[in-house]
Structures are given as C-alpha cells and as structure tokens.
Amino acid sequence: MSAGLPWLASREVLRVLKLWTQTILAPVAAQLLFILVFGLALSGRIRSVEGVPYDQFIVPGLTIMAMVQAAYANNSSSVFQARFDRYINDILAAPMRPWEINLGLSLGGAVRALLIGVALLAVALPVTGAPVHEPLALALAMLLALVLFSALGVVVGIYADTWDHAGFVNNLLILPLTFLGGVFYSVDVLPSPWHELSHANPIFYIVQAVRYGFLGTSDVSVVLALGVTGALAAVMVAWSSWLFATGRRLKP
C-alpha cells in the first residue's frame, strides 16, 4: 500500500467532518422527523406490521435509507468536483495504484454514512425501543449496502457532466426506489402485480436484509437479500475499478 492512500482517504474524511452540520446533522434530523411523524404519530392508527410495533418497523428502512443516500451523494459530488476543478489529475498522477485511488475516494462517503447511522440509532433506538436481534447480519447488510452505494457514487461522479446529473440519479432513481422498497410497509400485503414488481427493486433486498438484522424478520430470506445486495455491490465495485484501471473519462 502506498503512502498516498491514507492521505487521500483522510482528505475525503476531513471534507465530511468540516461540514458536519450539513453532512451528518441534517440527514440525522431529517430521518428523526420521519420516525416521529410516521412512527409515533401514526402508531395510533397503525398498531403493528407483522406483529412488530410500527415505530420499530420503520427504523431499519429509514436508517439504511439515510446511510445509502449519504454514501452516494458524498462520493458523487466529491468525484465530480475533483473532475470539475481538475485536481483529479494530481490524484491520478500520484504514485498510487488504481484500486487505491478508487478506495481512497470511496471512503469519505462510507465514513459519512457510518457516522449518520450511529448518530441516528443512538437517538432512534431509545425513543422507539427497536431491538437488534441479529447484529452480525445487520453489520454485513450495512457493509454491503455502503460498498454498493459508495461505488455507485464514484461511478456517477465520473460519468456526470453537470451537477444536475448526480442529483438526477438520486432524486429520480434512488429516492423513489427506496420509498418503494418497503421502508414504510410490508411488501407481502401488496396485491399482484405490485408484490412481484417490488421484488425487482434492488433496494427492496437491502431494506429486508437490514430489517432482519434489527427485527429478526423480513419479507424474503435473509440469504437471498444479502446475496442480491452482495452481487450488486460486486458489480458496482468492478465497474468503478475498471474506470480507474482504464482511465476512461478520467484521462484526456
């Protein structure tokens, strides 16, 4: 490992920490409002879902939603800004291997997402009383989700031509798929064909894997959920690694 990797990773993490009110505090506050409004306010009307109190049922989905959006948004904006300001050329010229550059640029989003997740759970778990039944499955699900969306952010940051392109993917793809992935409801209650279509949503499997880690229950097998998430993460990492290895859209 070259000396450039710790430098690049520390730079990306410092970028997150210097703007902590925007990068960490704001997403945590937004998700807590979702929990308070949808969980506590509606718990009088929606007592439980599959035997789980509603305020606890939505915690896993809201937590991972905040984390993956942060990982994606951080890395897509960071990589695009590096290309826009052309200091990506200095990084590419440094004596680092392509995988080290890829990893260094990805770690900022992963750290940001982890800080958001820890802060959110530190507040949400005592308020809702949500349990953590399967901590190992939860840790693995969150790790795979962060790898997937950190790499996706890097890929989009490389391909984006304007700031709007990065926002387009988040607002018109990630966010809708997240809300349709069973964050606020069990997919098992949906009629056909919406039940079947939900299983074509990749974020559905992430939500189910994380929910299993918290509640010990999910709409699909946790093995299937982790398998799909892991496969998608592998594809996205391979894509981002290929871009750095070939210099596509990075080198003039």
pLDDT attached to residue 231:
97
Instruction: Report if residue 252 sits inside a domain.
Output: no
Interhelix angle 54-84/26-34, rounded to 10 degrees, is: 150
Domain that includes residue 50, residue range: 4-246
Contacts of 143 (CB under 8 A, 6+ apart): none
Whether 164 maps to a domain, the answer reads yes
What is the Cα–Cα distance from 166 to 231, expressed in whole angstroms?
23
Residue 151 belongs to a domain: yes
User: Distance between CA atoms of 100 and 6, rounded to whole angstroms?
Assistant: 9
Q: Is residue 199 assigned to a domain?
A: yes
- Coil, strand or helix: which one is 52? strand
pTM for this one?
A: 0.92
Q: How far apart are CA 59 and CA 69, in angstroms?
A: 16
Residue 251 lies in a domain: no
Domain total of the chain: 1
Residue 121 lies in a domain: yes
pLDDT in tens, the chain (252 residues): 677 888 999 999 998 999 899 999 999 999 888 888 876 666 566 667 878 888 889 999 999 999 999 999 999 999 999 988 888 888 888 888 999 999 999 999 999 999 999 999 999 899 888 999 999 999 999 999 999 999 999 999 999 988 888 888 888 889 889 888 888 888 888 888 888 899 999 999 999 999 999 999 999 999 999 999 999 999 999 999 999 999 888 876
